[in-house]
Amino acid sequence: MNHTTKLPDHRSERVRSGAAIAASAPGRTIKRRRPASTQWAAWGFLAPVTVYLVLFYAYPLYRNLDLSLRDYTVRSFVQGDAPFTGLANYRRIFDDPTFAPALLHTAVFTVVCLVFQYAIGLALAVFFHQNFRLSATLRALFLVPWLLPLIVSASTWSWMLNSESGVVDAVLHAVGIAPVNWLTSPSWSLTSVIIANVWIGVPFNLVVLYSGLQSIPASLYEAAAIDGANTWQRFWRVTFPLLRPVSAITLLLGLIYTLKVFDIIWIMTKGGPADSSTTFATWSYQLGFGNLLPAFGPGAAVGNLLVIAALVFGLVHVRVQRKQALS
Amino acid sequence: MNTTSRQRRLTAAAVTVAALAITATACSSGSGGGDAKSAGSGTYTVWDPYPQFDKTSDWAKLVDQCGTKAGVKVKRTAFDTSDLGNKTLLAAQQGNSPDVLIVDNPVVSTLAEAGVLTTTADNKLDTSKADPNLLAAGQTGGKTYGTPIGANTLALYYNKDVLKAAGVDIASVKGWTSLTAALAKVKKAGKKGITFSAIGTEEGSFQFLPWLWGSGAKLTELDSQQAVSALTLWKDWLKEGYAPNSVLNNTQTTSWQEFASGDYAFSENGTWQLANAKKAGFGYGVLPIPAAAGGSAAAPTGGEFVTIPVQKDTGRYATSQKLVTCLTSGDNLYNTDTTLSYVAPTSEVQDKQVAANPELKPWVDAVKAAKGRTSDDLGTKYPKISEQMWKAVQSALSGSKSPKDALSEAQSAAK
């Protein structure tokens, strides 16, 4: 306390003496000008970030909101005189027969993907944590799905699941199971895109959970082993509880990523057949760009619903992180 | 305390530098791609959907030559065809339209509706030589918004070897019944019947249209008895195994790949596959798509229109008109359509094409019988109808709805 109160005095004295040498201006004016110039510097340093945020985040968000609240036709889009219609676009999408299925598919897609990505990722992380020979190499290989461009992995999946010439059906046929119309049957299309997305999402979970495992001290396992805990008990009583903070972050980030998945679904099924794999992300694109006559308003409205959902979970993420930082 | 604040300052500086770098690159790329016309009024901009042609291609050279002839410099930019409509709308919103725009024909009426294009009455473009059935795609509300540069359409390619093995005489295929009978024979012979594209995009609608029109149905009455019969035809082919289930996800390219494997008897595909057909390594023929009761069905026209977008400076139209006329007349048109493998939009050039390449004859006939998707003054109603139509096709073929239910739902949604 004492130290901090002394500090400004000390500094201003130095400033004063320095100024006295440099120029003959009275100390008082310098004292007044000095804070102003640091403030300017602060603003100067802040400006690029602020400009960047406004230009690339705030303005597009504002535009998207504006789009969703106006009745845009192609003509009014070009001339910029679209009438304000309040929530009409939102009402339109809530009344749309696609809304309920899209909501359901988005929820199912997100939850199922998360559960499988997490479970498989955790199992693999525990497996690789044992550090056997070649484990580092194998772990690196598991990262491949993450490194591939999405268009490559999605096209490959759609080729493998093709009901006419796909390798998956060929294998099923070989072992005597009736082939499945993975991408062209309304009851299977959602499953197909979920399988592809789980495959793509596992490496992320693996990497994060693996690093989480490394921070658990080995002595705890030794102690548990001495107490007579078997492998299964050691996992549930030691690993799992200690991994909880990392798991929470992994799941929350995964949730936000999965909610907005678009490319895989679009490349594999275009949300079809008959809307059977449409999620909010593909529906929004379909409305805005999937037709020769774009419906920007409703498309933006669906997009905003997604933004709100992601925002809610993003805030949860921030809260969880803050809680963890405190504990 | 001291160290943390220093660290914070350091990170702040690092962030600032990063942000500056990002904004700088963003700005520079923005100004590079943005205002295409700032180079001066002596430069005219041309946008086309032919990214496959680079600066050394015949098409690019032709564009340059026409510019020189009109006494101006021409800057050509190629876009992906699915992008071009939206790009043009955005450019028009910013008052930045190109001087000459070459765009897919069903997009013309949408752009016209948006007020982006000038009419031929305004820009003095002569469209009298173009075939009326092709020109109709660019006409709405009694006005014409451009001139076709070339056309393509759909027909049935058939594999002579497969048909021979199955004992099918191609001359016997005259209507839907005889076609289905031929497919049954092919299947019995252990080969595959027909492949097409029924994907949930505009492509799917494009491929379904010849059957819809061939049944006698209209786009404005999707729930008519005839329309149901057309969709039922496709549905039954899938049910009987004459067509593969993969058609639901096939683009026209993947559908062609299936045909090129040599297992299929028929493939519904376009003029643009002619060059690939020669490479396929089996005997092939081309048959106009049959109508339900015999004769040829009208197929939808593909191909682009050359248009002149609205400019603030109306004095530019005169030069733009010269450019367009140069691109779409006489020998230039012949050369362009040969490079694009399109059928020419005027009978004079069509004759020349057939004389040079007799294989084009069935295609010229098909184009003459073809119909624009936005014709019949459908204009901007077409995109809405089309979307509901491809959804109905997908619902019916995937088995989630009966053809009748799917189409009546489509009709009520398209209204």
Is B14 contained in some domain?
no
pLDDT of A81 higher than 90? no
B19–A49 C-beta distance less than 8 A: yes
User: Which of B87, B191, B248 is the best substitution to test chain A (most A C-beta atoms within 10 A)?
Assistant: B248
A274 with B400: Cβ contact below 8 A = yes
Q: Residue A162: list chain B partners with CB under 8 A.
A: 246, 249
| Run of H or E including A78 | helix A74-79
Q: Is residue A185 classed as helix, strand or coil in its secondary structure? A: coil
> In A, which residues are within 8 Å of B248 by CB distance?
183-184, 272-273
| Shortest alpha-carbon distance between residue B115 and chain A (Å) | 6
Residue B246 is given by DSSP the state G
pLDDT at B36 (0 to 100): 41
Q: Which helix (H) or strand (E) holds A242?
A: helix A240-242
CB B299 within 8 A of CB B362: no
For residue A38, pLDDT over 50 is answered with yes
CA-based R_g, chain A, Å: 28
Does residue A306 register a pLDDT over 50? yes
B145-163 average pLDDT score? 89
Cα angle for residues B152, B157, B161 (degrees, 5° grid): 160
Residues B97 and B80 in one domain: yes
Mean pLDDT of the region A126-146: 84
**Contact criterion met (CB < 8 Å) for A273 and B395:** yes
CB contacts of B267 in chain A (<8 Å) are none
Token pair recorded at residue B148: 């076709």
From the number of C-beta atoms within 10 Å of its C-beta (0-12, 13-18, 19+), residue B66 rates as buried
Assess A4–B contact: CB distance below 8 Å, yes or no: no
Q: Are B63 and B76 in contact (CB under 8 A)?
A: yes
| Partner-chain contact B12 A294, CB within 8 Å | no
**Closest partner residue to A184 among B26, B248, B380, by Cβ?**
B248
Residues B195, B122, single domain; the answer is no
Q: Which residue of B has its CA nearest to A72?
A: B114
Query: Which CATH code of 1.10.3720.10, 3.40.50.300, 3.20.20.70, 1.20.1530.20 fits the domain covering A97-326?
Result: 1.10.3720.10
Cα separation, B250 vs A155, whole angstroms:
13
HSE on the CB side for A121, CA within 13 Å? 31
Within-domain flag for B38: no
Kindly state the percentage of chain B with pLDDT values over 70.
90
Mean pLDDT over the full length of chain A: 82
For residue range B197-229, list pLDDT tens digits in order. 998 888 899 999 999 999 988 888 888 999 999
For residue A273, give the chain B residue with the closest CA.
B394
Mean pLDDT of A116-127: 91
B62 is written with which tokens? Answer: 């032709």
Pick from B286, B291, B294: nearest CA to B212: B291
**Rounded to whole angstroms, what are the CA distances from B351 to B58, B330, B368?**
22, 12, 12
Q: Which amino acid is at B49?
A: P
pLDDT at B54 over 70: yes
Are B124 and B159 in a shared domain? no
Which of A48, A78, A273 is nearest residue B16 as measured by Cβ atoms? Answer: A48
Q: How far is C-alpha A298 from the chain's CA centre?
A: 23
Angle between helices A59-68 and A296-326 in degrees, nearest 10: 130
What's chain A's length in residues?
Answer: 327
What residues in B contact A48, CB-CB < 8 Å?
16, 19-20, 23
A101: pLDDT strictly greater than 50: yes
DSSP string spanning A42-61?
HHHHHHHHHHHHIIIIIHHH
How far apart, in whole angstroms, are the C-alpha atoms of residue A152 and residue A17?
Answer: 67
Kindly tell me if the per-residue pLDDT of A116 is higher than 90.
Answer: yes
pTM above 0.90, yes or no: no
Same domain as B312, residue B287 = no
Query: Is A59's Cβ below 8 Å from some Cβ in B?
Result: no
Q: Going by DSSP bridges, is the β-strand pair B284-287/B100-104 parallel, antiparallel, or unpaired?
A: unpaired
The answer to whether residues B134 and B263 belong to one domain is no
Q: What is the distance in angstroms between the Cα of A255 and the nearest Cα belonging to chain B?
A: 27
Dist CA B104 CA B86 (whole Å): 12
Q: Can you say whether the dihedral through the CA atoms of B283, B289, B294, B296 is positive or negative? A: negative
| Mean pLDDT across B113-140 | 84
Considering the domain architecture, whether residues B237 and B329 belong to the same structural domain is answered as no
Let me know whether B89 and B211 are in one domain: no
Give mean pLDDT, residues A135-142: 83
Q: What is the extent of the structural domain holding B116?
A: 43-148+304-341
Residue of A nearest to B81 (CA): A292
A45 interfacial to chain B (CB closer than 8 Å): yes
Task: Enumerate the residues of chain B whose CB falls inside 8 A of the CB of residue A183.
Answer: 248-249
Q: Percent of chain B beyond pLDDT 90?
A: 11
Decide if A259 contacts A306 (C-beta within 8 A).
yes
Q: Are B301 and B152 in contact (CB under 8 A)?
A: yes
Does residue B169 sit in the same domain as residue B96?
Answer: no
Residues A76 and A161: beta-carbon distance below 8 Å: no
Whether residue A110 has pLDDT greater than 70: yes
- Whether the predicted pLDDT of A14 surpasses 70: no
Query: What is the DSSP secondary-structure string of B213-232?
Result: HHTT--TT-TTSHHHHHHHH
pLDDT band at B41 (very low <50, low <70, confident <90, very high): low
Of residues A8 and B116, more confidently modeled: B116
Residues B131, B224: one domain? Answer: no
**Alpha carbon of B344: minimum distance to chain A alpha carbons (Å):** 25
Instruction: Give the model's pLDDT for residue A194.
Output: 92
The answer to whether residue B203 sits within a structural domain is: yes
Same domain for B102 and B136, yes or no, is yes
- Which of A38, A52, A74 is best to mutate for the B interface (most B CBs within 10 A)? A74
Which residues in chain B have Cβ-Cβ distances shorter than 8 Å to A73? 113-114
If one compares B375 and B60, the residue with the highest pLDDT of the two is B60
* Number of neighbours of residue A179 by Cβ within 10 angstroms: 15
The pLDDT, as a whole number, for residue A71 is 82
Nearest CA in chain B to A96: B413
Chain-wide mean pLDDT for chain B? Answer: 83
Considering the domain architecture, whether residues B70 and B205 belong to the same structural domain is answered as no
User: What does each C-alpha distance from B194 to A251, B231, B294 come to in angstroms?
Assistant: 47, 15, 19
pLDDT in tens, A225-279: 888 888 888 888 888 888 888 888 888 888 888 888 888 898 888 887 888 888 8
Pick from B384, B380, B409, B379: which is nearest to B394 by CA?
A: B409
Residue pair A212/A206 in contact (Cβ under 8 Å)? The answer is no
Alpha carbon of A172: minimum distance to chain B alpha carbons (Å): 17
B37 pLDDT above the threshold of 50: no
Contact A230, A244 (CB under 8 A): no
Q: What is the pLDDT of residues B279-329, one digit of tens each?
A: 888 888 888 899 988 888 888 988 889 999 888 888 888 888 888 888 888
- Distance between CA atoms of B379 and B298, rounded to whole angstroms? 18
pLDDT digits (tens, 9 = 90+) for B247-289: 888 888 888 988 988 889 999 998 888 878 888 888 888 888 9
Angle at B207 between CA B203 and CA B212, to 5 degrees: 130
3-state SS of B284-341 is EEEECCECCCCCECCCECECEEEECECCCCHHHHHHHHHHHHHHCCHHHHHHHHHHHC
Q: Which of the two residues, A205 and B9, has the higher pLDDT score?
A: A205
At residue A242, φ and ψ (nearest 5 deg) are -75, -20
Q: Is the confidence at residue B190, as pLDDT, over 80?
A: yes
| Rg value, chain B, Cα | 25
CATH of the domain at B57: 3.40.190.10
Contacts of residue A156, Cβ cutoff 8 Å, sequence gap at least 6: none
Spatial contact of B106 and B373, defined as CB atoms under 8 Å apart: yes
pLDDT, residue A34, reads: 55
When divided into structural domains, chain B yields a total of 2
Enter the tokens of residue B7: 């660290």
Q: Write down the pLDDT at residue A233.
A: 86
What chain B residue is nearest to A55 in terms of C-alpha separation?
A: B23
pLDDT band at B3 (very low <50, low <70, confident <90, very high): very low
Interface of A with B in 189-248 (CB under 8 A): none
Question: CB-based contact (8 Å) between A55 and chain B?
Answer: yes
Question: How far off is chain B from A146, nearest CA to CA, in Å?
Answer: 25
Nearest CA in chain A to B2: A4
Residue B241 lies in a domain: yes
pLDDT at B8 over 70: no
The count of other CB atoms within 10 Å of the CB of residue B194 is 25
